[in-house]
Structure 1
Amino acid sequence: MSARLDRARSAIAERDGELGAFVHVADDPGDADSGTDLGRVGDGLLAGEVVAVKDNIAVAGAPWACGSASRRDLPRTHGDAEVVTRLRRAGAHVVGTTNLDEFAMGASTESSAWGPTRNPWDPRRTAGGSSGGSGAAVAAYDVLALGTDTGGSIREPAAFCGVVGVAPSPGTVPTDGVVDFAPSLDRVGPMGPDVARTAALHEAIAGASVPGGPRVLAAAAEAGARGDLTGWRLARVAPMSGERNDPGVLAAFDAAVAALEDRGAEVEEVTVPRFGDLLDVYLAVTSVEALPVLAEHEGRGLGDEALSRLEVGRRLAGTAEHAEALRLRGLITADAREVLERCRLMISPTVPLVAPLLGRAGMDDPLARPRTDWWTVEANLAGLAAMSLPIGRSDGLPVGLQLMAAPGDDAALYRVGAALEGALAGSS
């Protein structure tokens, strides 16, 4: 057992009864029920790293429940998802699986059949959703984690837990062995304590599928060597970066923008039509795409939120309302790409508030248009790569900044993200 794995397992045993980040932890590094040596350390990109995996991604020997009572007692006959196979090849320890909202549909993990995950910064508060277990695991145990992101489900927990989270460019990370939510929006992506370790995880799971070959780790390293951002034009997106954010969130964001400018970046304010007001479009698109997986599990113990989503999807399928949502999705995709032809990245706060208290009305309901989703659904609908990274605190709780890039330009996220991380560390 490596020292890093030993420390992580000890910390999980000590604290996860309170936090509920994990739904399954391997009994030991060899975990006999998996048929796989979970503790195997190779000489690959992730040698010695400990990785937690969201429970809608198949891990041999672990439950594959997707946070749902409808799957909790399924036999564990599945093998590894392709991304998990890539983790093992890269030398990582797969320590266990993490909590999520039922079928990844929610913003707080409160719809999980396993119960909610609590925020390591304040256990009265949510760790975010739907990848809340992964975000909490990274923050509490210094591990890496995989999540999935359909409308912000990696980036929101990353912001609330003070870690880095990335929704990679569509199609660049395989989703084989991942239970669908809305396939045209779903991404598997990395979460980590800092930009460099997140980049290593991203590169391991994307491999040669990243356009132009793996470049994200090199981009992060280049920023570490050269923090200068001269020549980088960034678009500050209105109204996503304005007064609809809580004052403390906006103050941290403004300070981060100033740090980018100090490093030489040119930041201009832009308005992307409809950005910041897309929850109804997102709801229509995802509810119809979610029909196959929800219908398959109907009558087997679906929770109230998943049943509500199923009803909405059936009501919208084939209607003019759904067709209009698809039309608008096409328009916002074109509008975003036009901005990204002039500016390398778009920036905003990741979410407009800090982690809310658990039990807040609507947080467990994916149909309630939660405020946490305001600024994140845009990247999925428009097919953009996106990153959240921590930029400070408001009322003692983490605040995240979001970077959005044209598809295939994931390396730009890491180049600017690492430069900003270095600038903020130097100013603290």
Structure 2
Amino acid sequence: MKVREWRERLESERCYDLIAELFERIERSKLNAFITLNKEEALKKAEEFDKGKLKGKLAGIPVAVKDNISTKGLRTTCASKMLANYVPPFDAHVVERLKQEGAIIIGKTNMDEFAMGTTTETSYFGVVRNPYDLERVAGGSSGGSGACLHNESVLALGSDTGGSIRCPASFCGVYGLKPTYGLVSRYGLIPYANSLEQIGPMANCVEDLALLLEVIAGKDERDSTNAGVDFKFEPEDKRYRVGIIKEMSANDDVMKVFEEVVDIVRERHEVVEVSLSSLKYALPAYYIIAMSEASSNLARYDGVRYGYALEKLDTWTRYFAKVRAEGFGEEVKRRIMLGTYALSAGYYGRYYLKALRVRTLVRNDFQRAFKHCDLLIAPTMPTPAFKIGEIQDPLTMYKMDVNTVPANLAGIPALSMPMGFVKGLPVGLQVMGNYFEENKILSFALELEKALE
């Protein structure tokens, strides 16, 4: 459901009844999109709206929040046994903004453990199922946020470290935006890889995506990486120069849909082919950087300072090892070990520093491309959603992120929007722009959305 449609219903029905109906639907659902529901508080806010006490841009609108974003008094688990009972004492910046604008937070969405995954199969609370086919994955790591937009929420927040908003947006047929690094405050986002991740909006149409971004973007002095820039969507009616990235591809079925969309784009815009030669190194560089930062960030979970604790004390080394062995899942442990290895003496220069140099090459390649193009496009994911359990090999799974990680390395904004279907499953178009040019991306997407409908 879109914001406009929800507001139309609010004109003739009580917000309390609509929110109650939403919770009934979630409780009956087989998607497993939520870890924790905020039922009591949400119904209380709905009553306030009905009495005219709830005001703001999102007044009375239900919003789902990914479970690695801090919510005061509401359990925030990162889909991990390590934080299964953690209740934050503070709100993330984006949650503060939602509350200021009258949004109704309905619950915390399921995700890959500590945002490490592409399918939400690594969640301690079970896999999220795709709304188009319950036997298939919803994508990750923001799988719950993508799936719940089918009919369990109007808006959702996700986080994107290497495609974690855009992947589920593609697999679930919704819209998801990774903003420019620094546009949205990361204060209250439980970290995985600080230099790569951004909180971003997910929705069922471009206008709703833009509205949510307007609410969450802006200045926050608590985040040292925050750019202090506000966002206001002002649709442009312009002819753009659109580059097709030669190095970003997909399987034959997805490419066929992509080429059909390119033909539609050509009717209104100039289309050229662009080559970014550094992209062949982007995926390994991304994983070295992300895993290295993860090994540092997750060191705090030792059962003493943070996280899952054991009842019986032992020697410090055995206690620490056992807490982490029991508290973390296999994928998280794999990434911590690989990251620790990449940062260790003798390998730091060979792996981590070399990855940072590749990151600079990727950033420079994008900047050269944007001197000649307004926007860049490519398929979001190389395939449609695959079956749950189909990919067991970690390397094969990592390769699924090949088209999404470059935007995180460069820090540029990137959108995934539905572009069509392959055998009944949605596939996404990725639209990338230069720093802080979200307005250009969303204007292009709004026009294309109308053409594809």
| TM-score of the aligned structures, taking structure 1 as reference length | 0.90
Helix, strand or coil at the partner of 2:289: helix
Q: Of 275, 288, 291, which residue of structure 1 is paired with 2:279?
A: 275
Deviation at 1:12, TM superposition (A): 1.1
Partner of 1:166: 177
Aligned-partner residue type, residue 279 of structure 1: L
Per the alignment, residue 214 of structure 1 pairs with: 231
Alignment of structure 1 residues 85-100 onto 2, 5 Å: 85-100=96-111
In 2: Cα distance, 1:177 partner to 1:85 partner: 10
2:257 aligned partner: 252
Amino acid across the alignment from 2:266: E
Letter in 2 for 1:238: K
Report the equivalent of 2:361. 331
Question: Which secondary structure state, in structure 1, belongs to the residue aligned with residue 400 of structure 2?
Answer: helix
Q: Is the 8 A contact 2:178 2:415 kept in 1?
A: yes
What residue in structure 2 maps to residue 51 of structure 1?
63
Gaps of 5+ in 2: 1-13, 220-225, 303-322
CA offset at residue 44 of structure 1?
Answer: 1.5
- Conservation of the 8 A alpha-carbon contact between 1:240 and 1:276: no
Q: Cα RMSD (Å) of the superposition?
A: 1.9
Give the paired residue count: 403
Residues 130-209 of structure 1: pairs in structure 2 closer than 5 A: 130-207=141-218
Question: What's 2:337 paired with?
Answer: 311
Pairing partner for 2:379 from 324, 349, 352: 349
Q: 1:133 to 1:362 in 2, by over 3 A?
A: same
Change (3 A) 1:155 1:4: farther
Select 1:129's aligned residue among 133, 140, 148.
140
**1:293 Cα deviation (Å)?**
2.5
**1:60 — aligned with what?**
72
Provide, for residues 284-339 of structure 1, a one-character-per-residue CA deviation record: whole Å limited to 9, x for no partner: 11111112232222524111111111111111012321111100101110111110
When residues 251 and 295 of structure 1 are mapped into structure 2, their CA distance, relative to the original with a 3 A threshold, is same
| 1:294 paired residue among 291, 294, 298 | 298
Q: 2:310 aligns to what?
A: none
Could you tell me whether the CA contact under 8 Å between 1:4 and 1:50 is conserved in 2?
A: no
**1:60 CA drift (Å):** 2.1
Separation (CA, whole Å) in 2 of partners of 1:142 and 1:203: 19
Q: Which runs of 5+ in 1 are unaligned?
A: none
- The structure with the largest alpha-carbon Rg is 2
Identity %: 38
Cα deviations by residue, 1:193-241 (Å, 9 ceiling, x for unpaired): 111111100110004678764223x22xx5xxx5xx42x0011001214
Q: 1:116 and 1:186 mapped to 2: Cα distance?
A: 22
1:424 aligns with 2:452: yes
Matches within 5 A, 1:23-38: 23-30=35-42, 37=45
CA distance in 1, matches of 2:47, 2:349: 50
Give yes or no for contact 2:68–2:189 (8 Å, CA) kept in 1.
Answer: yes
**1:101 aligned to 2:115?**
no
How far is the alpha carbon of 1:277 from its aligned partner? 4.7
**Alpha-carbon distance in structure 2 between the residues aligned to 1:305 and 1:420:** 38
Q: 2:439 aligns with which of 405, 408, 411?
A: 411
Distance 2:300 2:55 in 1: 41
In 1, the alpha carbon distance for the partners of 2:76 and 2:43 equals 16
Change (3 A) 1:77 1:267: closer
SS at match of 1:274: helix
Contact 1:146–1:190 (8 Å) recurs in 2: yes
Query: What is residue 238 of structure 1 aligned with on the other side?
Result: 246
1:79 to partner: Cα distance: 2.1
CA distance in 1, matches of 2:448, 2:18: 27
* 1:258-292 C-alpha deviation (Å, 9 max, x unpaired): 11122x21110111112255221111111111122
